[in-house]
Amino acid sequence: MAKKAAAASSASSSDSLGSGTKLVIVESPTKAKTIRKFLGKDFIVESCMGHVRDLPQSSKDIPEKVKKEKWAQLGVNVDKNFEPLYCIPKDKTKVIKNLKDKLEEADVLYLATDEDREGESISWHLQEVLKPRIPTKRMVFHEITKEAIQKSLSQTREIDYNLVRAQEARRILDRLVGYTISPLLWKKVAYGLSAGRVQSVAVRLIVEREKERIRFKKSNYYGLTAYLDKGGESFEAKLLTVDQKRVATGKDFDGLTGQLNAGKDLLVLDSKTAQSLASKVQAAQWKVTEVEEKPVHRKPYAPFITSTLQQEANRKLGMSSRETMQVAQKLYEQGFITYMRTDSTSLSQEAIQAARTAISEKYGKEYLPAQPRLYDNKKVKGAQEAHECIRPAGTHFQDPDDTGLTGPQAKLYELIWKRTMASQMTDSRQKQVSAKLSADNTIFNATGTTIEFPGFLRAYVEGSDDPEADLESREVRLPQLKQNDSVKPQKMEPTAHETKPPARFTEASLVQTMEKEGIGRPSTYASVIGTIIDRGYVKKMGNALIPTFTAMVVSKLLANHLTQYVDLGFTSEMENSLDEIADGELDWESYLASVYHGKKGLRSLVAEEEGNINPEEARTIKLDGLDKYEFHVGKYGAYVKTQRGEESFSASIPDAEAPADVTSDTIEKLIEQKIKGADSLGVDPKTGKKIYVLNGRYGAYVQLGENDDEEIKRSTLPPGMDPTAVNYEMALEILALPKSLGTNPGNGKDIKAGVGRFGPYVVCDGDYRSIPKTESVFTMNLEKALALFAIPKKGRGKAAALKEFGKHPQFDIEVSLFNGPYGPYLKAGKTNVGLPEGVTADTITKEKAFELMNEKLAEAGTKGKKGAKKATKTLKKAAKPAEKAEALGVKKVITKKKK
């Protein structure tokens, strides 16, 4: 564990920087590049590329001297003070060597990793690995600006060993839980499954929501909307009461069961009653019985913290939590925003002044409150170390239009900028008008809202991309209404409704729930959600998170046998304990011992429960309302079993089928298809073979030939096509895919259209393009395909160069300029270099391009023609299958041999 290095000393805020060479170590090359701009020639800024040590990831990482120890695979000696076995990954040996070489040149070492627990831990690991014999100082900052960097150099501190112990305890705790429970899942469910400490709870939340949807029984009810006229102005009113009995609306039904809440005397309208009422009130006299006006003030939202940024980026920009944090990390490292892992809503005085100046210039003084707004830093469960909120960096907030950012970075920066602006703007003032209207024995209600002064809504509306458009949609104007006024009925419209099951979690709502319950930490949410998707426990359908049958099975096993490890309260208490370690209030070793050892500890609990778990039962679940079916998880995915008389039948469940969406009709069709085989649509005129539409694990497809034929052709159905709607002619068209569209006049190669795993596409000589949703693979022709190829390829795949500069005179390798998601960059073989500030795609010259590539090519070891040719040859060899896979949207191509 962490021990203070006697050789390391820290400067106080009054220390002089002194003379000599100073080595500054940060986590990433981007961060290093940004910081170099603010430091003088006496500073060497290097990147350690993240963590330099970790617990062993496989048996290859374990040193020979401890390989035979019982605890070696675990990587933690649980019987000796929970001593961790730290290893330096192979890909970090060159990094460590470089840092040691640079350390030889330095007189002072500055550890400048992030100021959270993980950053503190990285600094400690660097100190342990490098063993510096020169003064070592810890410099911290929450934004990368010249002022912040200069200030941090003069206000260094020692490594905070409480933070280091808390991070180590978290890492060890995660290892103990994962490596103790996962082998149990391998034995009882399926090999390769895993059970992370926080991931398991997140999966349980998603599974429980799916169960709620399964138990839900929808109810139907009707309402009545009246379209009325007053002095030539039209407005709407909703039916409120009939014979003084209130009409049931959506809020009167239980959100979990879908049934009407008990104990309320309400009128539930059906279609016939609603139609009858509509005819009756259409002919009645309408009169205004009551009018109420009231002012409404809305205060702005607090600035972003980690969790709220993830939620809003998901809602507004469609970004996943992982993508949000990756983009935010880039913005921070380039000096655009403050540190993005924080639970603090505070703004510094300098930031408040910067926001007020920007508001006054951009929106006008009427949007500026008399006094700055201060936000209470409410201590959420286990808040991280206090920083400022997430805001634009510096003492002058750069306008989004002036940053030069593009793509996701530009969108996220603008979101952060607007939220920060709004947090210091005036309240929104609105007027709400409510009117009651009588017609025969009924009362209708009309409501209107007018915005008298938009205030902060001018800059930012939560969940909306366009504040101006959203302001318009929020206004519902009523005509001038007074008590006893008469109004004319224009049209009555009965409205059918049905109760909706609880909404599935999105990444935004899952983050919100996890934060509320104190599960994990906001800084880990992105990796938690990414992990449960990557490991096949959860899939995304649109924005919804849907559990797989594997998740249902694993969650059931953990809930039945290791209850506390998927319990929200228990997991939250674990986080609180880690916070106490960080505050120096709890001994890390005693805490880990209490969790792992003893009669109620993790080790003994798993050993005891292992004998109580029947593997066949563990792999099986039943769903409410489908009692005669058993759902199993097998080696090749989920399948369903049912008994018919004395015989048992089973069928595979397509991966795309969500547990809550499975019906008895779906299952019966799958089983019937398995028993009888699908009915043939007809015979292929060319081969004489029968044509079928079948369902498989990966969805519906058309098959040419019988299952026992030597040659069978299968073609995936295009996305969105209903298998039951496929007829003989359509099946022939699908089997003809990929079809030739004609010859590309540009290169003389054939262009084809087809459907792959990731949707419809056109391809020419290995160059793929996705067919847009507005088109169909069946309607594609040569003209439309050529138009798609004429559009420059974005993102992944082989993009066209903006400029070609020819071969580098020293390294004999082609240098080109490309446009990437984060702006223009130079490329030579596998080496990329971003354009520095002040250099654009239009102004860069050949000489400047070669100059910028010099250092990077030298670091890459591409020296001389021989090295360059070897690198180019390797690049070409690796690129061909990768480009094809990337063009199809595949991140990695894996080929498995059949057993």
CA distance 680 to 862: 61
In sequence order, what DSSP letters do the residues of 690-713 get, joined into one string?
Answer: EEEEEEETTEEEEEES-TTSS--E
Burial of 240 from C-beta contacts in 10 A (0-12 / 13-18 / 19+): middle
CA 746, distance to chain mean position in Å, is 41
CA distance 504 to 236: 32
Tally the residues of the chain: 899
Q: Which uninterrupted H or E stretch holds 125?
A: helix 117-130
Which of the residues 110, 222, 339, 692 is marked catalytic?
339
822: Cβ contacts below 8 Å, ≥ 6 apart: 330, 405, 406, 407, 409, 834
CA distance 754 to 776: 10
Does the annotation mark 698 as catalytic? Answer: no
In sequence order, what DSSP letters do the residues of 609-665 get, joined into one string?
Answer: HHTT--HHHHTEE--TT-TTEEEEEETTEEEEEEEETTEEEEEEPPTT--GGG--HH
CA distance 598 to 595: 8
CA distance 466 to 460: 8
Rounded to 5, what percent of the chain is helix, strand, coil?
A: 40, 20, 40
CA distance 807 to 814: 4
CA distance 817 to 820: 10
> What residues pair up with 642 in beta bridges, in sequence order?
629, 649
Torsion, Cα of 55, 60, 63, 67 (10° steps): 100
Among residues 352, 332, 334, which one has the least CA distance to residue 38? 334
CA distance 370 to 375: 16
- Rg (C-alpha) for the chain, rounded Å, is 32
In sequence order, what DSSP letters do the residues of 764-811 get, joined into one string?
Answer: ETTEEEEPPTTS-TTT--HHHHHHHHHSPP-SSS-PPPSEEEEE-TTT
What tokens appear for 411 in the block?
A: 């969108």
Single-letter code of the amino acid located at 837:
E
Q: Which residues are catalytic?
A: 339
